[in-house]
Structure formats: structure tokens, C-alpha cells
Amino acid sequence: MAATRLELNLLRLLSRCEALAAERREPDEWRLEKYVDALEEMLLALKKHSSKPAPELLNEYARKVDFLKGMLEAEKLSSSAEKALANQFLAPGRTPTTAKERTPATKMVHLQTKARYTGKMRSELLGTDPLSVNESEELNLRKRKGFVSEEKQSATELDAVLQHHRSMQEKLAEEMLSLARSLKNNTLAAQNVIKQDNQVAWIAVEEIIQILSIAIHNINLRRYGVNGNICNLILNVIAAGGICMKDLSSSIVQLVLTIDSLVL
């Protein structure tokens, strides 16, 4: 199955993060941490996508993202010994992120950070210059493993990827809001229809009672001791809201029976 646009964007950003992780960064460098946060959001969205990749591929993406997160957390520790220990528990990716890689980039980053922290610990013990030790370790490591750095993507291109991801989230939020409004409008419309139907039903009932009243008055009810104002009484009760539809139906039936008995 072909990769979706979301998966391609995730791979591009993941490759960029791996390249940044392999570089020597200043202490106040913030881009990598922000990019990794965006990677987490993309990975979560990809897991929920209808055309998500195979589970083993998702697990590999998650493994690489977790490695980058763990690496950043290790860098925040105070001593070189703590950093080296935390680095030992990190699990790099098993497969290359791009076709240009001969070895998974996260694995190379893992070896680099291990060499860097080991060099710092050694320099602290021997009192040597940590920079020269680290540079020598990393240079030897690059030569042994044939590390090939990925071509850096421009900041503008990465911003476009992140902007596209934010736009997708905003579009989804707008669609959910539109759906909620539509549901509210449909509910109100249904309530209005029911209300109008009830009003029409009451008007029809009132007309029936008026017709029955006229029929009763046309028959000389006083001769049989029947109160001719019973229909007006029912209408007054209805107007006051003191009778329900069930009771009203019973009253109408009684009036009809009365008329039948009089006619007979």
C-alpha cells in the first residue's frame, strides 16, 4: 500500500531529526526538541488514520521517536556518568529511515552519543580537554562505520511540513464544529415540527367539539335533562391547560355517545 501524505511528512521530519541529533548542538538549541514533539503528534495521527501502515512499521516509527525523546532527556542530566547510563537503555531503530542510509541513523546516533559521554567521563578523570577527546572519538567512529550524513532540509521546507500538519488539525476541528451546529439545527427543526403538529391537533379537536356542541344543541337536550353547556365547559378547561389529550378524547367519546342515544 502506498504511503499517505501524512506518513511521507513524518518520514521527512524523522530524517531531519536524525540528522540534527547526529550534529553537535549548542546548549540553547531548541529545534530538535520542537521537531520531536511534532513527530509525536504526527505518529499519533498516523495510528488513527484510516490508511495507516502495517503494525510492524508503526512500531519501528514509534521506536525511533522514543529513542529521540530518550536522547533529549539524557542530555538534560547533570553528570556525564548519568548521561552515559541513560544512553545505555536507549533502543535505536532497526531499519534505515531513507534509502540512502546503509545503517539506521538512530543506531549511529546512539553510538555517537555513547562515545561522546564516554569521552567526557574519561576527560573528567584524566583532566584532559573534553572537546578534543570527543572530536577524536566521533571522527574514528565515523570512519569505522562509514556514516553518511543526510542532506539537510531547509528550515522553510520543514516549516511547511509542520504548517500542513497544523492545518490538518484545524480543518478537523472545523468539521467537528460544523457537524455539531448541524445537529443542533436539525434538533431545533424537529422540535418546531412537533410543536406545530401538536398545535394543529388541538385546533382539530376544538373544531370537533364545536361541531358536536352544535349537534347537541340541535337536539332538544333540555328535554332529557342533559346540560347543553358541557362542550363550552370542556373548551374552557382546554384553554386553561387543565386537561390532557387522553381525557379530552374520553370527553369527545362521551359526547358522541350522548348524541347517539338522543338520536335513537
Three-state DSSP class for 93?
Answer: coil
38-83 per-position pLDDT tens digit: 999 999 999 988 888 899 999 999 999 999 999 889 888 888 888 8
CB 161 within 8 A of CB 15: no
Please give the Cα distance from 48 to 264 (Å, whole number): 77
21-50 per-position pLDDT tens digit: 888 777 778 888 999 999 999 999 999 888
Grid cell at residue 240: 386553561
Three-state DSSP class for 55?
Answer: helix
pLDDT at 62: 92
CB 58 within 8 A of CB 45: no
- Percentages (nearest 5) of helix, strand, coil residues in the chain: 75, 0, 25
Q: How far is CA 112 from the centre of its chain?
A: 37
Instruction: Give 72's contacts (C-beta < 8 A, 6+ positions apart).
Output: 32, 33, 36
Mean pLDDT by 10 residues, the chain (264 residues): 81 90 80 91 90 90 92 86 84 83 83 83 68 51 49 57 72 81 85 80 70 60 47 52 54 60 55
Please give the Cα distance from 78 to 91 (Å, whole number): 21
- What is the torsional sign of CA 232, 234, 238, 240? positive
3-state secondary structure 207-236: HHHHHHHHHHHHCCHHHHCCCCCHHHHHHH
CB 51 within 8 A of CB 81: no
DSSP for residue 3: P
Which of 18, 1, 12 has the alpha carbon at shortest distance from 42?
12
Which of 137, 143, 110 has the alpha carbon at shortest distance from 22?
110
Please give the Cα distance from 159 to 49 (Å, whole number): 22
CB 141 within 8 A of CB 112: yes
pLDDT at 209: 66
Phi, psi of 102 (to 5 degrees): -90, -30
Where in 123-170 does DSSP place strands (E)?
Answer: none
Q: Is the model's pTM score more than 0.75?
A: no
pLDDT at 44: 92
Distances (CA, A) of 133 to 89, 127, 136: 23, 11, 5
- What is the torsional sign of CA 88, 90, 95, 98? negative
